């Protein structure tokens, strides 16, 4: 077989991809008819495809390339580590310098007494760790009946059996026999779609109180933990009302349950602080981390655990671990990524420069006839598409029809913007400049204009009853 390289014609690469590569979350037959877009190179906030298009990456890869593409320092650290020690495990009373150094650095950056790290290869693995670790923790405390996890509808916590069960995506639960037992889902704090006539503050409090209602209904002696993303990312960048997290925190403090903040998207600067928990005043017992930990340059994740939980777990063996827990190359690359985030003041850049600029520029899209709301927190933002702004109406067409059209127009204008049903979302690399934010928003507006024309022509601007 010929070597397969960037220099092959796009159509040939697409044919091979369709023949042999099974994609995540993809209708393969539909993709094969169209041909996958082939990304060949990245630099800063830009990507290039096999047709030579220069694309603004409004999604930081998949919510992860926080420092931007093309940082040689990470490549050099990886090469150096591969030459010195490409792999060794951290089982059997053994360790190595990259794992030690990264765990210590995460403990330094993490708030409160979150001082211990259990490494995984991804966010899904880390949430599976949390599920087993928390149940084991309660068993060690003499309360083995505390097994129930409370999570939220429309949450995303990963794709493995455990993490997808914690997630609240109905379509995922419908495939493969999920959720696992003893996982309970409450409603999300999604004021725009579900708030009706309530003020956002009233609604946020009411949604938080569902946690207390669930704890009381299930029994405090049965509930192990509540898990949530500070801001739901994959669910559509759903920013909770200000009243939500203080009430959740009060409920967790009052009842004897652990609070797990899934920081896979919000962590490492995305919301303008190191962790979303700091932005939203959350005091978790455990944080899930991945993505921005290495800016996606290497697959690595983990659970950051507080002193009290770690102390209980330290007595006796926890029969759990992944071959690649604390992988030396991934750990060394993550450490270099954290050095860059810290020394270049990238989190401060988000807080003081990029996030305020995005809030203004993105917020200006609210005047577009298709846009029901345009919101952002730090460098994650979303738009609700609507056929009727005044009523916050949904489309009569199947959910996602309008969102898909808008995403296609965005791609055609060389902006990667995602859709989650009929919500458009962005989360660009944290190093984005105000000028590139303006370019991003200008392209998003063009995509909205073009989508609006198509929706009108295809008679899709009707509101659901």
301-306 and 114-120 beta bridge pairing = antiparallel
**Tokens (6 digits) for 446:** 């063009």
By CB under 6 A, the count of residues binding ligand PXG is 17
Site string for ligand PXG, 288-327 (x = CB under 6 A): x-x----------x--------------------------
**Tokens (6 digits) for 107:** 């403990």
**CB of residue 315 to ligand PXG, shortest distance in Å:** 29
**Stretch of residues binding ligand PXG (CB under 6 A), selected from 92-100, 155-163, 187-195, 352-360:** 155-163
Is 381 among the residues that bind ligand PXG (CB under 6 A)?
Answer: no
Binding to ligand PXG, residues 201-230 (CB under 6 A): 229
**CB of residue 133 to ligand PXG, shortest distance in Å:** 16
Is 157 among the residues that bind ligand PXG (CB under 6 A)?
Answer: yes
* Cis amide bond preceding 208, omega within 30: no
**CB of residue 83 to ligand PXG, shortest distance in Å:** 27
CA angle 82, 88, 94 (to 5 degrees): 140
**CB of residue 155 to ligand PXG, shortest distance in Å:** 8
**Tokens (6 digits) for 456:** 């009108």
Which candidate, 60, 56, 64, 51, places its Cα nearest to that of 8?
51
DSSP letter, residue 110? S
**Stretch of residues binding ligand PXG (CB under 6 A), selected from 15-23, 116-124, 237-245, 373-381:** 116-124
Q: Which of 233, 272, 276, 378 binds ligand PXG (CB under 6 A)?
A: 233
- CB-hemisphere CA count at 13 Å for 254? 12
3-state secondary structure 310-343: HHHHCCCCCCCCCCCCCCHHHHHHHHHHHHHHHH
Alpha carbon distance 437, 276 (integer Å):
22
Is 122 among the residues that bind ligand PXG (CB under 6 A)?
Answer: yes
**Stretch of residues binding ligand PXG (CB under 6 A), selected from 80-88, 122-130, 326-334, 342-350:** 122-130
Is 407 among the residues that bind ligand PXG (CB under 6 A)?
Answer: no
Residue nearest to ligand PXG (CB): 123
CB closer to ligand PXG, 425 vs 461? 425
423-426 and 418-420 beta bridge pairing = antiparallel
3-state secondary structure 390-441: HHCCCECCCCCHHHHHHHHHHHHCCEECEEECCEEEECCCCCCCHHHHHHHH
Q: Which of 224, 257, 259, 264 binds ligand PXG (CB under 6 A)?
A: 264
Question: Residue 139: helix, strand or coil by DSSP?
Answer: helix
Alpha carbon distance 74, 449 (integer Å):
40
Is 156 among the residues that bind ligand PXG (CB under 6 A)?
Answer: yes
Q: Which of 265, 287, 310, 416 binds ligand PXG (CB under 6 A)?
A: 265
Q: Which of 66, 81, 124, 298 binds ligand PXG (CB under 6 A)?
A: 124
Alpha carbon distance 144, 380 (integer Å):
39
Is 272 among the residues that bind ligand PXG (CB under 6 A)?
Answer: no
Q: Which of 44, 58, 98, 158 binds ligand PXG (CB under 6 A)?
A: 158
Q: Is 31 exposed, middle or buried (0-12, 13-18, 19+ CB in 10 A)?
A: middle
Binding to ligand PXG, residues 34-93 (CB under 6 A): 62
| Residue recorded with tokens 């209904």 | 217
Question: Residue 25: helix, strand or coil by DSSP?
Answer: coil
CB closer to ligand PXG, 45 vs 380? 380
Is 234 among the residues that bind ligand PXG (CB under 6 A)?
Answer: yes
**Tokens (6 digits) for 356:** 């305020």
CB closer to ligand PXG, 135 vs 157? 157
Q: Applying CB under 6 A, which residues contact ligand PXG? A: 62, 122-124, 127, 156-158, 229, 233-234, 262, 264-265, 288, 290, 301
């Amino acid at each position: 077989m010929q070597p397969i390289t960037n220099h092959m014609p796009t159509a040939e690469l697409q044919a091979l991809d369709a023949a042999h590569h099974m994609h995540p979350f993809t209708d393969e037959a539909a993709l094969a008819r169209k041909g996958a877009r082939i990304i060949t190179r990245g630099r800063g906030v830009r990507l290039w495809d096999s047709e030579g298009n220069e694309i603004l990456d409004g999604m930081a890869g998949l919510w992860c390339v926080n420092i931007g593409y093309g940082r040689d320092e990470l490549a050099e650290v990886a090469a150096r580590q591969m030459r010195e020690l490409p792999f060794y495990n951290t089982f059997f009373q053994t360790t190595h310098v990259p794992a030690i150094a990264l765990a210590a650095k995460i403990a330094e950056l993490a708030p409160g007494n979150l001082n211990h790290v259990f490494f995984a290869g991804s966010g899904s693995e880390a949430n599976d760790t949390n599920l087993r670790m928390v149940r084991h923790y309660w068993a060690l405390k003499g309360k083995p009946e505390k097994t129930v996890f409370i999570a939220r509808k429309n949450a995303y916590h990963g794709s493995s059996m455990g993490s997808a069960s914690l997630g609240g995506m109905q379509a995922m639960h419908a495939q493969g026999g999920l959720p696992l037992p003893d996982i309970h889902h409450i409603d999300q704090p999604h004021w725009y779609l579900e708030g009706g006539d309530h003020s956002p503050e009233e609604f946020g409090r009411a949604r938080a109180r569902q946690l207390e209602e669930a704890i009381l209904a299930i029994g405090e002696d049965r509930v192990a933990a509540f898990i949530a993303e500070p801001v739901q990312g994959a669910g559509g960048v759903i920013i909770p009302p200000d009243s939500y997290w203080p009430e959740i925190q009060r409920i967790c403090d009052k009842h004897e349950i652990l609070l797990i903040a899934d920081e896979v998207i919000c962590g490492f600067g995305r919301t303008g602080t190191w962790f979303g928990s700091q932005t939203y005043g959350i005091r978790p017992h455990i944080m899930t981390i991945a993505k921005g930990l290495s800016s996606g340059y290497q697959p690595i994740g983990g659970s950051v655990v507080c002193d009290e939980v770690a102390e209980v777990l330290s007595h006796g063996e926890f029969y759990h671990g992944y071959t690649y827990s604390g992988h030396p190359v991934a750990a060394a690359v993550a450490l270099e990524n954290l050095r860059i985030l810290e020394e270049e003041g990238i989190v401060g850049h988000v807080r003081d420069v990029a996030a305020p600029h995005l809030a203004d520029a993105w917020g200006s899209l609210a005047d577009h006839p298709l846009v029901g709301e345009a919101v952002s927190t730090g460098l994650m933002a979303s738009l609700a598409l609507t056929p009727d702004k005044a009523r916050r109406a949904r489309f009569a067409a199947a959910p996602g029809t309008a969102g898909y059209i808008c995403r296609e127009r965005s791609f055609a204008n060389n902006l990667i913007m995602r859709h989650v049903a009929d919500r458009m979302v962005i989360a660009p690399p944290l190093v984005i400049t105000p000028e590139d934010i303006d370019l991003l928003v200008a392209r998003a507006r063009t995509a909205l204009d073009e989508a609006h024309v198509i929706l009108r022509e295809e008679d899709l601007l009707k509101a659901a009853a």
